[in-house]
Amino acid sequence: MDREYSAKILLVDDQPEGLLAIETVLEGLGQNLVKARSGKEALWHLLREEYAVVLLDVQMPDMDGFELAALIRERDKSRRTPIIFMTAAYKSEDQVFRGYELGAVDYILKPIVPEILRSKVSVFVDLDRQTHTIRRQSELLREAERRQHEKQIEDALAFSHAVSHDLRAPLRHIESFSGILVQTYGDKLDDRGRDYLQRLAGAAKKMMRLIEAMLQLSEATRVEVHREIVDLSRIAASLEAEFRQSEPQRQVDFIIQDGITAAGDSHLLRVALANLLCNAWKYTGKRARARIEFGKTDLDGLPVYFVRDDGAGFDMSHANKLFLPFGRLHARSDFEGTGIGLATVQRIIHRHGGRIWGEGRVGQGATFFFTLSHRAAAVGSPGNGA
């Protein structure tokens, strides 16, 4: 148990001499005693901190102890905070029952017997300390599990990185010799033979794309992040030009907000934007005229960047699969892809200290939002499965 932990005890009494008397009795417990001389002041403290127990005088002007207890119980943060009522006037059992109905755990009559008060408060201090210890142990356990999980992922990525490098050379040979066979001996093969060779070359190309995606995912996890001021708007514009050159027949309204900058690794942020915008380009491919947007908004005063499209969208009930490697939300026959793109984006965003999430509706498009670190946000201007 954490013996250095100091529980907070809230003392509420409108009379200074009453507060002094309680403080004198409890100071020997060595805990953090917080005093309030009114119900409003007590509520202010309860909104800011959590308390092991509240010692509450029943008779107070403006807001009596019962009214204050009712407000305490209305707030989620203080709903389970123990309340001990203190009163100099025992009027009736109805008054006691009312206190218990409002969540009181005990009544203490004034004048206070020091030994009784210390004994009752010590129980809640011990409970609070045990709760703190359990929470701390849970946090340490979650942190250990997270680190173990990250280590396992890092080891797996290191393995896939090595294997991917080793596989690229033989796949290139397969692709290259398949092309040579088609060009040199194509006229000697029947239609079925040429079809087999074309399928072989196509499978090799798909495997190469998958390997390149796995290497990109590994790189996003392993390489050192070099921060600089990055013009995200310019990167988005250059990617738009590449997409239009690859499919000049498509009708796409590409809206890119000007002047969006952030502090981060220029190469990694380009990879992240490329995956997000490539997804938007791909999943709007079945629309006669599509719209893709890259911009920036604010959330709680911090910049949030987004990529929005009006394409295939996705079912939000499956949003937990968006960033899983090979986690596809669409059939491969509908949209080709490696299933690694968004996992790569998430790794890059996390390495910048940010987070990413997606919102979508089937047939109505999707928006992927992401933040970067507070440091990146301060410098900055003012997911569909892959």
How do residues 338-371 score in pLDDT, each as one tens digit? 567 788 889 889 888 899 999 988 888 999 999 9
Q: Is the full-model pTM beyond 0.75?
A: no
> Dihedral through CA 98, CA 101, CA 102, CA 107, nearest 10?
60
Using pLDDT thresholds of 50, 70 and 90, give the confidence band for residue 306: very high
Q: E strands along 99-210, which residues?
A: 104-109
**Apex CA 277: angle with CA 274 and CA 281, to 5°?**
125
Task: Answer yes or no: is pLDDT of 334 > 70.
Answer: no
Find out whether 343 and 217 touch, Cβ atoms under 8 Å. yes
- At 230-283, the pLDDT tens digits run 999 999 999 999 999 989 999 999 999 999 999 898 988 998 999 899 989 998
- At 106-115, the pLDDT tens digits run 777 778 888 8
Residue 109 CA from chain centroid, whole number: 49
Grouping H, G, I as helix, E, B as strand and the rest as coil, residue 217 is helix
- At 362-377, the pLDDT tens digits run 888 999 999 987 544 3
Using pLDDT thresholds of 50, 70 and 90, give the confidence band for residue 217: low
> Is omega for the bond preceding 111 within 30 degrees of 0, making it cis?
yes
Identify the residue whose tokens are 């960047």.
305
How confident is the model at residue 382, as a pLDDT?
A: 34
How confident is the model at residue 383, as a pLDDT?
A: 37
Fold of 224-379: Heat Shock Protein 90 (3.30.565)
Grouping H, G, I as helix, E, B as strand and the rest as coil, residue 279 is helix
- At 133-144, the pLDDT tens digits run 888 888 888 888
Question: What is the distance between the alpha carbons of residues 376 and 353, in angstroms, rounded to a whole number?
Answer: 9
Single out the residue of 6, 78, 18, 76 nearest to residue 42, CA to CA: 78
Helix or strand holding residue 11 (H, E): strand 8-12
Question: Which of the pair, 305 or 157, is modelled with greater confidence?
Answer: 305
Single out the residue of 94, 92, 67, 72 nearest to residue 83, CA to CA: 72
Grouping H, G, I as helix, E, B as strand and the rest as coil, residue 113 is coil
CATH superfamily of 8-112: Response regulator (3.40.50.2300)
Single out the residue of 235, 380, 227 nearest to residue 294, CA to CA: 235
Identify the residue whose tokens are 């509240």.
54
Percent of the chain with pLDDT over 70: 79
Find out whether 326 and 339 touch, Cβ atoms under 8 Å. yes
Percent of the chain with pLDDT over 90: 18
Question: What is the distance between the alpha carbons of residues 222 and 225, in angstroms, rounded to a whole number?
Answer: 9
Alpha-carbon dihedral sign for residues 248, 252, 253, 256 = negative
Please compute Rg for the chain using Cα positions: 32
Show me where the domains of the chain are located. 8-112, 146-205, 224-379
Single out the residue of 181, 171, 178 nearest to residue 208, CA to CA: 171
Find out whether 375 and 249 touch, Cβ atoms under 8 Å. no
**Apex CA 96: angle with CA 92 and CA 100, to 5°?**
160
- At 155-176, the pLDDT tens digits run 666 666 666 666 666 777 777 7
- Mark 117-146 as b/e (b = at least 16 C-beta within 10 Å): beebbeebbeebbeebeeeeeeeeeeeeee
How confident is the model at residue 375, as a pLDDT?
A: 45
* Size (the chain), residues: 386
